[in-house]
Amino acid sequence: MDRERGVQLNFKKCLMLGTMAAFIITVIGCGGTQGTKETSETKDMKPLVVGLMPDTDSLPFIIAQEKGYFAEERLSVDIQQYKSAMDRDSALQSGNLDGAVSDMLAVAFAKDGGFDVKVTSFTDGSYKLIASKESGIHTVADLVGKEVSVSRNTIIEYVTDQILAKEGVREDSINKVIIPQIPTRLEMLQNGKLAAATLPEPMASIAVKKGGVFLAGSDELGINPGVILFTGKATSEKKAEIAAMYRAYNKAVDYLNDTDPEQYMDLIVEKGGFPPSARDALRLSKYHHASLPKDSDVADCIKWLVDKQLIKTQFSYDDLVVNLLEK
């Protein structure tokens, strides 16, 4: 009997040990499967190619790249730099970019021309009308009959026209000088070859630092037509990648807001394509997590384009904007 009892006890111990071993193997096996799944997802994540301009809208992308926030999301982002909106838009429509830091006007032009693009968020851009130090100009009204540089049919011209309208100055009362490339526009303003120019940041701050006179800007008007856009193909085929990009973008926004600018100013001047003088001139405003643009920002841009007969279609908000942001 004792021997039989001992055999039974040994059998129960073996059964218990065997069950525990099977449980451990199952857990480890599940963990291994999960690891394989993450590796597979990483492997399947397609790269994004994004076009940037030399302005402060682009800084979250630069920080996300340099601080490894894209890499943390297992996402490869190829950043392409452009000096003019025309070059950026050409690259987008030729299929060399998935998306870009852009503006609502560029979106409407593309859609009106049959090229499918979608706005995925607004940006924290700032655009300012600056008079040259030699011009003697101190108010927007002083610009009547003067040469003011813009880039034609872009966010720059739109902001300029909005400033003129607010100040009661007719658009045709100034002489618009078309200079697409931002660095060239800044250089000509500083050399006294223009009475005034509308510039994005940090070029506007550089101009003021060197004696230029601030007249008005988009911040004071409460308008924000700057956006991030992606092609219709990218918004359909790379939703996961765009969502991952925005997670990294928001981390970069937090970094910009919470970190002493001295720690990253050299980096953004170098990688952003800014002149060295931007280092001491630039004062960054608070950045915001990625969000969709306001209805009014879309509607006002479309009205301006339609009134100037630059587009044929009165696009609605839903025609131009898609929500790919995670809740």
Tally of domains within the chain:
2
Using alpha carbons, select from 307, 291, 282 the residue that is nearest to residue 56.
282
Q: Which of 221, 240, 262 is the last residue of a domain?
A: 221
Residue 300 belongs to domain spanning: 48-125+225-320
Check whether residue 230 and residue 310 sit in a common domain. Answer: yes
Q: Is residue 8 part of a domain?
A: no
Residues 164 and 112 both lie in one domain? no
Token output for 50: 């994004």
pLDDT in tens, the chain (327 residues): 444 444 444 444 443 444 444 443 343 344 433 332 344 444 578 999 999 998 899 999 999 999 999 999 999 999 999 988 889 999 999 999 999 999 999 999 999 999 999 999 999 989 999 999 999 999 999 999 999 999 998 899 999 999 999 999 999 999 999 999 888 999 999 999 999 999 999 999 999 999 999 999 999 898 888 999 999 999 999 999 999 999 999 999 999 999 999 999 999 999 988 889 889 898 888 999 999 999 999 999 999 999 999 999 999 999 999 999 975
Give pLDDT tens digits for 219-243: 989 888 899 999 999 999 999 999 9
Last residue of a domain, one of 221, 253, 270: 221
**Residues 237, 312 within the same domain:** yes
- Domain membership of residue 38 (yes or no) is no
Report the CATH number that the domain containing residue 241 is assigned in CATH: 3.40.190.10
Phi-psi sector, 286: left (phi>0), alpha (psi -120 to 50), beta:
beta
| 18 within some domain | no
Residue 30's pLDDT is 41
- Does residue 3 form part of some domain? no
Is 325 part of any domain? no
Residues 232 and 275 both lie in one domain: yes
Q: What is the pLDDT of residue 234?
A: 97
Mark whether 192 and 305 lie in a shared domain. no
| Shared-domain flag, residues 230 and 309 | yes
Q: Point out the domain boundary residue: 221, 236, 266.
A: 221
Any domain includes 132? yes
240 shares its domain with 121: yes
| 112 shares a domain with 256 | yes
pLDDT in the model for residue 324:
96
Q: Does residue 13 sit within a domain?
A: no
- Please report whether residue 62 resides in a domain: yes
> What is the full DSSP assignment across 72-92?
HTT--EEEEE-SSHHHHHHHH
Looking at the fold, whether 234 and 293 belong to one and the same domain comes out as yes
pLDDT at 297: 93
* Whole-number pLDDT of residue 327: 56
Residues 233 and 101 in one domain: yes
- Show Cβ contacts of residue 215 under 8 Å, excluding neighbours closer than 6 positions: 128, 129, 130, 131, 137, 138, 139, 140, 143, 163, 196
Domain shared by 75 and 90, yes or no: yes
Q: β-pairing, 226-231 with 99-103?
A: antiparallel
pLDDT of residue 15: 39
Residue 193, classified by CB atoms within 10 Å of its CB into exposed (0-12), middle (13-18) or buried (19+), is middle
- Cis omega before residue 202 (within 30°)? yes
Say yes or no: 82 and 141 in one domain: no
